[in-house]
Amino acid sequence: MKFPGLCASLVLWAGSLLPAWAGQYVLLADQSNTVPVAVRVENGEPACNVEITVQGQPPFDREVRAPHYETRVVITPQDVELVTVSWRGRPRRVNEAVFNACPTLGQTQFSVVSDGRQVRANWDVLFASFSPDKAECVRTAFRAEGVRTEGYDLNDRQVTREDWKIHRALTQCDGFLAQKKAWGDQNPKSFACTLGGGLKTQCEGYYTATVNGKVQPVSYETAVQLHLNGVPVGSGVRELSASQAARVRRVQAEQARVAAEAAAKAKAEDDARAQLIRQAEEARVAAIKAKKDKEAADLAEKLAVLARVEEEEKARRSWLRKQLDNFKESSGIETTPRPKPVEKPEEKPAAKAHADKKGDKKDDKKDAKPDAGHH
């Protein structure tokens, strides 16, 4: 795919000879635009100061640091078609700190446009030529590197630091996608898999990287950024969180069902034992009651027999008495009943004791008389 003005070139940037895409950001007229400005520092100074001049504005100082030596400036173009930004190294003192001047001198230009539709259209055509996986990787790399495709004109022949970022993203994404993944050719977001023990479920692929000496899962964005920086990235497969949660719920439901069945069975057994005990107790109480009822019935029957015998005896004696009376009457024997003798009332104990005492005295006197006569 070729675009007017889009070409591969060689650029000397930060001491490295690298192929890059040529291009530059455009500025929207009468709007505030934030664009990157990167200066070329060949001596590898870790940090230094530059004086930047934006066309139509007073100069200002900026500190830039390795490895990119980049800063961002705000430009609001008015009634111009082209804005020039220039820079030169200049030392600067901030309090007690002194920043050396960057050994650099240069400039770049930004075109001013009324809108960015053509710029976005060119990028849309370029992304349409990529596979979906590569397009996603490149966009992720651009976000990590701060490349704004909606404002970067691929038809501008200037060479900038953004060219190197774009070239690196395009080439490194090819290598990133060529690496073998743990999920093979399947969609890493969701695919059928089998866990240990033959458990079938849904899995997802994930990336790994060594962090603080330990291999840990990392996001897709982090994996792409690490790959851009030359850090090895691995991959793995794990069960989807939703599938795992659903499986756990199924396992818990099955465990709850088994537990409920076991509890119901235990309760039924307890109820059956309680029923047997209750029935045995009821049978024991019924047997005792039946025994008592029988004993009461037997006693009542015996009493009834005795009562009947007594009545019969009374009836027999009455019949004999009547026969005797009839016999006496027919024989002229008086049948008037003999009066009962009058019983002598029993003496009271005190009176009886007094009488006994008097009797004893009489006996004493009787016994004493012969003695008196003897004298």
Domain that holds residue 20: 8-178
Q: How many domains does the chain have?
A: 2
For residue 91, say if its preceding peptide bond is cis, omega within 30 degrees of 0. Answer: no
Q: Is 156 inside a domain boundary?
A: yes
Residues near 158 by beta carbon (within 8 Å), at least 6 away in sequence: 22, 23, 24, 108, 109
Residues near 1 by beta carbon (within 8 Å), at least 6 away in sequence: 125, 126, 129
Judge if 82 and 204 occupy the same domain. no
Task: Note the pLDDT of residue 19.
Answer: 41
Q: Is 325 inside a domain boundary?
A: no
Q: Which of 126, 149, 178 lies at the terminal end of a domain, its last residue?
A: 178
For 245, the token pair is: 């949660």
Q: To 10 degrees, what angle do helices 132-145 and 220-228 make?
A: 70
Task: Note the pLDDT of residue 341.
Answer: 63
Element (H, E) at 65: strand 60-65
Judge if 163 and 203 occupy the same domain. no
Judge if 198 and 154 occupy the same domain. no
Q: Is 150 inside a domain boundary?
A: yes
β-bridge mates for residue 195, sequence order:
none
Task: Note the pLDDT of residue 216.
Answer: 95
How does pLDDT run along the chain (375 residues), one tens digit per residue? Answer: 334 333 333 333 433 434 445 789 999 999 999 999 999 998 888 999 999 999 989 999 999 999 889 999 999 998 899 999 999 999 998 888 888 999 999 999 999 999 989 999 999 999 999 999 999 999 999 999 999 999 999 888 888 888 989 999 999 999 999 999 999 999 999 999 988 888 889 999 999 999 889 999 999 999 999 999 999 999 999 999 999 899 889 889 999 999 999 999 999 999 999 999 999 999 999 999 999 999 999 999 999 999 999 998 889 888 888 888 888 888 876 655 556 666 656 555 555 555 555 555 555 555 544 444 444
Judge if 205 and 138 occupy the same domain. no
Q: Are 56 and 85 in contact (CB under 8 A)?
A: no
Judge if 13 and 153 occupy the same domain. yes
Residues near 126 by beta carbon (within 8 Å), at least 6 away in sequence: 1, 3, 154
Task: Note the pLDDT of residue 332.
Answer: 74
Q: Is 359 inside a domain boundary?
A: no
Judge if 172 and 31 occupy the same domain. yes
**CA 158, 159, 160, 163 torsion-angle sign:** positive
The pTM is what?
Answer: 0.62
Q: Is 293 inside a domain boundary?
A: no
Q: To 10 degrees, what angle do helices 161-178 and 132-145 make?
A: 140
Q: Is 215 inside a domain boundary?
A: yes
Judge if 81 and 209 occupy the same domain. no
